[in-house]
Amino acid sequence: MTALLVLMFLLVAGTGAGVVLAREPRRQALALAVNGVALALLFVVLRAPDVAYSEIAVGTALVPLMFLAVLVSLKTDRPQP
Amino acid sequence: MTRRTRLILAGICSVLIAPAVVVVILHIPAFGHHPLPYGDAINRGTVARRHVTNMVTAVNFDYRAFDTLGEELMLVAAVTGTLVLLRGRRGENVSDRPARAPDRPVCERSEAVTLACRIFLPLIVAFGIYVVLHAQLTPGGGFQGGAIIASGTLLLYLGESYRLWRRLVRSLLFDMLEAAGAIVLVLCGLGPMVRGHAFLENVLPLGQSGALLCGGLILVENAGVALAVTAGFILLLLEFLEETRAAREDEKS
């Protein structure tokens, strides 16, 4: 296991912990995107560029975006005070 | 359960699991030393047999194309189900007027955002098309490229306006494209059977290895997947963001 690989694993673990520790939903969606980038970097280091592509497109762009959209919708539906 | 009890419980569990994790990590085979023969077999003969240089594409769209067909139909079913749930009573009527959240100020778009989106939108869509077209040569493929194109269209919303995005990205068109993608894939399966070959057998001419047109049926299947994924994700984004509209009385036409 090279130093680069160890670094990537730590990065994934760190950003993954960040997703859990971020308690505010909007921040959590963004933390999920950051975790997706870290995972994609790990996949590139492990020479799986196809999986990295999917991870970037789905894990970093689409899924957090849908979370954000749903969060906005929850805010919109709240009755006016 | 109080926070304290939970933390104690988590601590005990971590201590119990930690030795097992360490043992497993120490016994992971070294990078590149996998015990199974399939990867090596694919790497050895695929360029000669299928004339493609991306082994992942060869597996996805040829050797295990049946799995891809199943995945694709599953994706179409999932998207359809989500659309039915989200559209609900509203049906297919969409409005191009954005919702306003009551407790949030409306900010003007800065010119920098508009400029950045105008620069990046064509680049991202072109890159997505590149990834789709070069599935058989370099990493990437219909799924990845489709997802890139679909998320790229959102820059219209970000940089221009909700209204323009809804006007340019029509739901009906992508409904049809998604179905077309699934149909292309099914026809790729049934087509060879007409000539007496097996389901999904690669019967088209394989072309020259390394050229853009190589791999025979792989190209057609890849195009079908790209269509279905692009349209499916665009539809999901349209419906999810449509949901962010509050249905106000004065907005109904």
Q: What is the pLDDT of residues B203-235, one digit of tens each?
A: 888 888 888 888 889 999 999 999 999 999 999
For testing contact with chain A, the best of B25, B31, B42 (most A CBs within 10 A): B31
Report the pLDDT averaged over residues B137-153: 92
Question: Using CB atoms, which residue from B56, B147, B245 is nearest to A57?
Answer: B147
Contact across the interface for A46 and B147, Cβ inside 8 Å: no
- In A1-81, the DSSP E strands lie at none
Decide if pLDDT at B249 tops 90: no
How confident is the model at residue B251, as a pLDDT? Answer: 45
The SS3 of residue B54 is: coil
Pick the residue with more confidence: B109 or B222? B222
Decide if pLDDT at B100 tops 80: no
Contact across the interface for A53 and B101, Cβ inside 8 Å: no
Nearest-angstrom CA–CA distance, B213 and B222: 12
Q: Extract the residue ranges of chain A whose pLDDT is less than 50.
A: none
Local structure of residue B102 (DSSP, 8 states): T
Contact across the interface for B31 and A66, Cβ inside 8 Å: no
Entry pTM: 0.83
Cα end-to-end span (Å), chain A: 57
Contact across the interface for B141 and A76, Cβ inside 8 Å: no
Question: Using CB atoms, which residue from A1, A62, A69 is nearest to B243?
Answer: A69
Contact across the interface for B139 and A1, Cβ inside 8 Å: no
Decide if pLDDT at B253 tops 50: no
Q: Is B200 exposed, middle or buried (0-12, 13-18, 19+ CB in 10 A)?
A: buried
